[in-house]
Structure 1
Amino acid sequence: MEPLRKGRYLARLAASAEDLRAAQRLRWLCFVARDGLAGDAAPLDADPLDADCRHVLITDAAGRLVCCFRFLMLPGGRDIERSYSAQFYDLAALESFDAPMVEVGRFCVHPSAGDPDIIRLAWAALTRIVDDGGMQMLFGCSSFGGIEPAVHADAFAMLQQRHLAPRRWWPRIKAPHVFRLARALRPGPLDAKRALAAMPPLLRSYLAMGGWVSDHAVVDPVLRTMHVFTGIEIGTIPPARQRLLRATAG
């Protein structure tokens, strides 16, 4: 992926060990410290999969890292067990997906950076990655902060009602601690506006393009998050949305 600029932001691939450490520091701030402060000596969020992934950094005009994510390209579903997601979900159904796939993970935005152009640029970078590699499926884990299901009830109810995975790709339970989204359903109409507002920005973007999720959330007591498996087949993205993404990526 060539460097990509939008307004005051630049997206590029990590090119050094220092770049990777900067991404790991931001991940620690977002996933462990949450709204705390992290200086240059802050702890790192790192795991063995970092070595197999490429890492995208988004910096502002001052060179400050405001967003990062990593991605892992797979030749097809037969390699799905190499993914981060496969640690938490039974993805046997996806083993029959016979086309290149890319897993996106550890997506995070600095707590003080709320400019929507950051998410737009991240999707532009993802579009470049998908097109350059001929990827036919995009997948990963979408994380909700905190491990109390009641906090996410509106969002989980909406996912259960409207956005479950197609049966042919159905992710099954593997992790020891899960919350079935159906348990969040309540009598009465769904407040869609409130439900969408409670979802992570990246997940909202997935859903707007026709993305889908698992029927359960995995409880991660280490990162103190709950996450749902999220996927989208590139060929099913509406043509108008594809044109918009490619225009931004161009």
Structure 2
Amino acid sequence: MRELPNPTFALSPVSLPRGSLHPAQPNSAVDFLPRRAKSAIEVTWAKHQDEVREAQRLRFDIFGTEMGARLSSHLPGHDIDLFDDFCEHLLVRETATGMVVGTYRVLTPAQAKRAGSTYSDTEFDLTRLRDMRNRMVELGRSCVHAEHRQGGVIMALWGALFEFMDRNQLDVMIGCASIPMLHNGLVSGDAAASIWRQLRETHLAPIQHHVRPRLPLPVEELNAHLDIEPPALIKGYLRLGAKVLGAPAWDPDFNTADLPMLMRTADLPARYRKHFKSAV
């Protein structure tokens, strides 16, 4: 087991190991059993390289095997990219088996400076968000095991994320929310174009926060009038108060249309704030 190298966090002493933004008490994990969860779960932050590898294997299984993404990695069976070493990795485990069934990675402002950018910067021009950089966390690589997509795992992840933001006095989260290009058995951007049409009418951020895709999905050439709902994860973000920052980008490696999204902790509805606080 190899301890992760000491990152330079602006919010904590550099002598602390990876995970130093997180309390190390024995009961610091989040344990609760949502009504529809199949088994008890706990949320922890990866503190060793082998724990990060567990998250990367889950990501490969879902993104590579299940979704057919083209993943280039030096370690077979793992989804690894250049941002992983700069990120905190949030893990949800089955209590009984210890198996990782859900994960997020979190890039803090200090670590984004060390990395040179966020992942979202590679897909979008984020110039209009420059005033938020010093308090902006990027969320990415969210995935949940197929047998645990009933809601409990993602709620546990969100609870830990909002606790993290509150404890470290950060108030903005950004990320790319993916829409699969496969719809009704066919590879097409029509579903993404239709979802974008709906959300720009109801959940578009103010113009001063709009961003531009570097590789735009050609929405003007697609059928944007399908009667289709956004993916569950995007609907969840919207319920938490998130806004869409602009038109989708096309990610050819993952074969998805990615919507840029921003969420402020101040916009979290009271019912979710109460639920998350009761879970930690």
The TM tier, using the shorter chain, reads 0.7 to 0.9
1:163 to 185, 192, 203: 203
2:247 matches 1:216: yes
Structure index of larger Rg: 2
What does 1:68-217 align with in structure 2 at a 5 Å threshold? 68-74=103-109, 82-97=117-132, 100-146=135-181, 148-173=188-213, 175-180=214-219, 185-186=224-225, 194-195=228-229, 198-201=230-233, 203-217=234-248
Percentage of pairs with the same residue: 25
> 1:152-200 CA deviation, whole Å, 9 max, x = no partner?
3543332122111211211123x234244896543xxx95xx51xx414
2:29 matches 1:3: yes
> 1:210-238 CA deviation, whole Å, 9 max, x = no partner?
21113211111112222111101222333
CA distance in 1 between counterparts of 2:64 and 2:196 reads 23
2:90 matches 1:56: yes
CA distance in 1 between counterparts of 2:205 and 2:127 reads 14
> 1:26-74 CA deviation, whole Å, 9 max, x = no partner?
11111121168xxxx9521111110100001111121111101100111
SS class of match (2:195): helix
- Report deviation, 1:240: 3.9
The answer for the alignment partner of 1:16 in structure 2 is 48
SS class of match (1:178): coil
SS class of match (2:97): coil
2:62 matches 1:30: yes
SS class of match (1:48): coil
CA distance in 1 between counterparts of 2:104 and 2:134 reads 23
TM-score by length of 2: 0.75
Task: Give the conservation status (yes or no) of the 8 Å contact 1:20–1:55.
Answer: yes
Task: Give the conservation status (yes or no) of the 8 Å contact 1:76–1:99.
Answer: no
Task: Give the conservation status (yes or no) of the 8 Å contact 1:55–1:70.
Answer: yes
The answer for the alignment partner of 2:80 in structure 1 is 46
The change in CA–CA distance for 1:59 and 1:81 in structure 2 (over 3 A counts) is same
State the aligned residue count: 236
CA distance in 1 between counterparts of 2:191 and 2:162 reads 32
Task: Give the conservation status (yes or no) of the 8 Å contact 1:74–1:100.
Answer: yes
- Report deviation, 1:111: 2.1
The change in CA–CA distance for 1:152 and 1:166 in structure 2 (over 3 A counts) is same
Query: Please, which moves more after superposition, 100-109 or 143-152?
Result: 143-152
SS class of match (2:248): strand
Amino acid at match of 1:69: Y
The change in CA–CA distance for 1:43 and 1:152 in structure 2 (over 3 A counts) is same
The change in CA–CA distance for 1:217 and 1:179 in structure 2 (over 3 A counts) is farther
- Report deviation, 1:243: 2.7
Stretches of 4+ aligned residues off by more than 3 angstroms: 75-81, 151-154, 179-186, 238-241
Give unmatched runs, 5+ long, in structure 2: 1-21, 23-27, 34-39, 69-74, 182-186
